[in-house]
């Protein structure tokens, strides 16, 4: 531990050392079995006589806090039990009203339920650990001579080229490596774009219901956020506010209701945005997993006015722990987005980015997706079969063609708090539909994720879920 001396303190130097070490033992910063620094090291670092340090250590030994061991230094004794821990330090600081209004979204990360039906979770057992480790080792070798550099805040040019080819091949999106900005995920990309495109007081439109962190993020930047209703064909374009400067939309698999934005609505949205010069963020967060119909063309592919920013993430394809995503940005915005990225966090770690580059170029990503699609398709079918097998079910599934979740409408009781208590008692972990409504009266339901639960457990989990609504 670091020790400090105050030359203006009336206490002797050895007393100051003694008091600091004893306090560290008392509040647990120096736990039983912890070793004190050698006295000669402390004396050298503080520029004092070694005898001053040994006097403090001798007093600690005499009072039973530490014990000197031959060849082992001074060790904190087990019976020198720590106190209640450091007290909470007072502060005159307080968050702004805007920051204080921000609330976390989602369930506790440390919980491990018997049946995890949380929306947005992926199966960690599918992660190709050996392949990723191989790619990371190669990245470390490649970057060994560049560890002293931050790199390009937009991401390495090699990764951006790999992403350009991949989105062209998998999404039909044409662009150049210079238009790609590598991010920490879809939410980070939306944050960067909002910071560049909006000023406080501007109107931003989001889907209602939708993903609450997007609304929270936009409000934290001072935007006036308007919720636009969604039906079975996706975002209702006629309900967009005329003053909107930005629209966030999930056209491939609307979160949370699962609707696919129809082609007519896609074209109408693009016409609306083109006339007003408004930006459209196309959040394509999980369209890699489709089970029924063929995908519609992305908004970005249909865009003729350069108003769409296509945003992708590897959180569902691979793992949210990697914190990797990207945006395909109109050329005129690239300098501002890159400068903002540098100002905020300097971009994605180079090792992770280079590992992803190799993972894509060597075909590991395509191979993983082929395997994951088969697994998640089986689970999608298993959920449908389990729901169909329920007699007089209180659960009404909405149509679902893609992704790792579907939405179930339920009776209005129990409320979210009671539902949480009941589900926990049964070993279930759920996501509430009510919480996705930010701008209008909510509908009761469950956003049921099937990414993390083993296929064999789905019938039992669905049966338990139905039992929560007697």
**Model pLDDT for residues 47-61, shown as the tens digit of each residue:** 999 999 999 999 999
Q: What is the pLDDT of residue 101?
A: 83
φ/ψ (deg, to 5) at 76? -70, 130
- Residues listed for the chain: 470
Cβ burial, residue 437 (10 Å; 0-12/13-18/19+) = middle
Q: Is the pLDDT of residue 298 over 80?
A: yes
Q: What's the rounded mean pLDDT across residues 321-338? A: 95
Cβ burial, residue 55 (10 Å; 0-12/13-18/19+) = middle
Closest to 355 measured CA to CA, from 117, 141, 186, 173:
141
Indicate the fold that domain 127-366 takes in CATH.
Answer: 3.40.640
pLDDT (tens digit per residue) in 66-94: 998 877 788 998 876 555 555 566 778 88
**CA 57 – CA 61 distance, rounded (Å):** 6
Q: Tokens in use for 218? A: 């936009």
- 3-state DSSP percent of the chain in helix, strand and coil, to 5: 40, 15, 45
pLDDT (tens digit per residue) in 171-186: 889 889 999 999 999 9
- Options 1.10.10.10, 3.40.50.1010, 3.40.1050.10, 1.20.1560.10; which CATH number does 13-76 get? 1.10.10.10
Percent of the chain residues topping a pLDDT of 70: 96
Q: Is the pLDDT of residue 349 over 60?
A: yes
Identify the band that residue 234 occupies on the pLDDT scale cut at 50, 70 and 90: very high
Q: What's the rounded mean pLDDT across residues 235-245? A: 97
Lowest mean pLDDT among 8-17, 92-101, 295-304, 441-450: 92-101
**CA 24 – CA 40 distance, rounded (Å):** 20
Q: Is the pLDDT of residue 3 over 80?
A: yes
Q: What is the pLDDT of residue 70?
A: 76
**CA 413 – CA 422 distance, rounded (Å):** 12
Q: What is the pLDDT of residue 347?
A: 87
Q: What is the pLDDT of residue 253?
A: 93
Cβ burial, residue 415 (10 Å; 0-12/13-18/19+) = exposed
Q: What is the pLDDT of residue 107?
A: 57
Identify the band that residue 108 occupies on the pLDDT scale cut at 50, 70 and 90: low
Q: What's the rounded mean pLDDT across residues 431-446? A: 92
More confident residue, 79 or 266: 266
φ/ψ (deg, to 5) at 226? -115, 130
| Domain spans, the chain | 13-76, 115-122+368-467, 127-366
**CA 379 – CA 451 distance, rounded (Å):** 8
280: helix, strand or coil: strand
pLDDT (tens digit per residue) in 122-153: 999 999 999 999 999 999 988 877 776 778 99
**CA 470 – CA 452 distance, rounded (Å):** 26
Which CATH architecture fits 115-122+368-467? Alpha-Beta Complex (3.90)
270 neighbors 280 (Cβ within 8 angstroms): yes
Lowest mean pLDDT among 280-289, 377-386, 406-415: 406-415
Mean pLDDT over the full length of the chain: 91
How many CA atoms, within 13 angstroms, populate the side-chain half-sphere of residue 370? 5
Q: What's the rounded mean pLDDT across residues 309-313? A: 96
């Amino acid at each position: 531990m670091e020790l400090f001396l105050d030359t203006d303190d009336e206490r002797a130097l050895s007393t100051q050392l003694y008091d600091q070490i004893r306090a560290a033992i008392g509040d647990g910063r120096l736990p039983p079995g912890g070793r004190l620094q050698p006295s000669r090291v402390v004396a050298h670092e503080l520029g004092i006589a070694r005898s001053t340090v040994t006097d403090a250590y001798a007093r600690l030994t005499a009072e039973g806090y530490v014990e000197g061991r031959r060849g082992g230094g001074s060790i904190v004794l087990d019976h020198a039990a720590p106190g209640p821990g450091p007290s909470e330090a007072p502060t005159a600081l307080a968050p702004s009203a805007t920051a204080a209004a921000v609330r976390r979204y989602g369930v506790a990360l440390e919980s491990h339920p018997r049946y995890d039906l949380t929306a947005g979770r992926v199966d960690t057992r599918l992660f190709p650990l050996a392949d990723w480790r191989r790619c990371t080792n190669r990245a470390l070798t490649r970057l060994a001579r560049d560890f002293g550099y931050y790199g390009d805040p937009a991401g390495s040019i090699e990764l951006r080229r790999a992403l350009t080819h991949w989105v062209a091949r998998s999404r039909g999106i044409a662009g150049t490596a210079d238009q790609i900005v590598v991010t920490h995920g879809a939410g980070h990309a939306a944050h960067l774009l909002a910071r560049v495109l909006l000023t406080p007081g501007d109107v931003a439109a989001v889907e209602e219901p939708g993903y609450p962190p997007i609304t929270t993020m936009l409000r934290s930047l001072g935007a006036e956020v308007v919720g636009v209703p969604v039906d079975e064909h996706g975002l209702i374009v006629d309900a967009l506010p005329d003053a909107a400067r930005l629209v966030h939309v999930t056209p491939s698999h609307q979160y949370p209701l699962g609707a696919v934005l129809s082609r007519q609505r896609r074209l109408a949205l693009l016409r609306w945005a083109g006339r007003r010069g408004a930006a459209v963020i196309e959040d394509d967060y999980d369209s890699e997993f489709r089970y029924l119909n063929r995908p519609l063309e992305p908004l970005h592919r249909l865009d003729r006015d350069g108003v769409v920013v296509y945003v992708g993430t590897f959180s569902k394809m691979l793992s949210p722990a990697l914190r990797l995503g990207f945006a395909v940005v109109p050329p005129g915005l690239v300098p501002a987005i890159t400068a903002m990225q540098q100002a905020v966090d300097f971009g994605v770690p180079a090792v992770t980015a280079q590992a992803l580059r190799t993972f894509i170029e060597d075909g590991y990503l395509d191979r993983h997706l082929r395997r994951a699609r088969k697994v998640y398709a089986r689970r999608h079918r298993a959920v449908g079969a389990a729901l169909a097998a329920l007699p007089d079910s209180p659960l009404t599934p909405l149509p679902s063609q893609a992704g790792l979740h579907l939405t179930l409408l339920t009776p209005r009781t129990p409320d979210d708090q009671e539902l949480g208590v009941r589900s926990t008692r049964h070993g279930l972990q759920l996501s509430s539909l009510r919480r996705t409504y930010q701008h209008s009266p909510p509908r009761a339901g469950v956003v049921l994720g099937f990414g993390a639960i083993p296929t064999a457990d789905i019938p039992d989990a669905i049966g338990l879920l139905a039992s929560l609504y007697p």
